[in-house]
Amino acid sequence: MNNKNEPFIIHRYKSLGYALKGMFLLLKTEASIQVQFSIAILLTIAGFYFEISSLEWIIQIFAIVLVMSIEALNTGLEKICDFVHEDFEARIGFIKDIAAGAVAISSLGALLITLILYIPKFI
Ligand SMILES: Nc1ncnc2c1ncn2[C@@H]1O[C@H](COP(=O)(O)OP(=O)(O)OP(=O)(O)O)[C@@H](O)[C@H]1O
């Protein structure tokens, strides 16, 4: 638990620790993040193999980070939904569906970016 009276730098240091722990928890417990992380590794290998440019690296990294960040927020929202209302409730279903929709939008964008980046390498 953060103590609001502790020095700023200690407070920031602890917050960074919690955030790193969150990243580790996502990778350890969430199947969707594990799949996305595996795809990120494959894309990184592809990036080195095809010697993509600095701009292409930036775009690829941005796409990966966007999808995984939104997936992490979606996971957090799902956990809150399950915590506040475990039973079937249409409004919880709606919240979960639109949060999943955000993941779908970013994933579709990332797929298009991947196709635009790599299709020209094969033709
Ligand atoms: N409590 C609920 N009430 C109504 N509908 C729900 C509820 N929980 C889940 N749903 C419906 O089921 C869908 C899947 O929910 P769930 O929490 O299993 O998400 P998921 O993405 O499949 O989970 P995970 O990421 O753990 O695989 C939701 O998008 C929603 O349509």
Provide ipTM, 2 decimals. 0.91
Mean pLDDT of all residues belonging to the chain: 96
Say what the pTM is: 0.91
How many A from CA of 94 to the centre of ligand 1? 9
Pairwise CA distance, residues 103 & 123, whole Å:
30
Q: Is 120 exposed, middle or buried (0-12, 13-18, 19+ CB in 10 A)?
A: exposed
Which domain, by its residues, includes 49?
30-122
**Pocket lining: 100 vs ligand 1, CB cutoff 6 Å:** yes
Q: How many domains does the chain have?
A: 1
For a pLDDT cut of 90, what percent of the chain falls above it? 91
Does 87 fall in a domain? yes
**Tokens describing residue 98:** 């639109």
The verdict on residue 111 lying in a domain is: yes
On the question of pLDDT at 6 being above 90, the answer is no
**Is 20 within the bounds of a domain?**
no
Q: Which of 10, 60, 9, 11 is nearest to 39 (CA)?
A: 60
Mutate to test the pocket of ligand 1, among 96, 97, 103 (most ligand atoms within 8 A of CB): 96
Express each pLDDT in 12-64 by its tens digit.
999 999 999 999 999 999 999 999 999 999 999 999 999 999 999 999 999 99
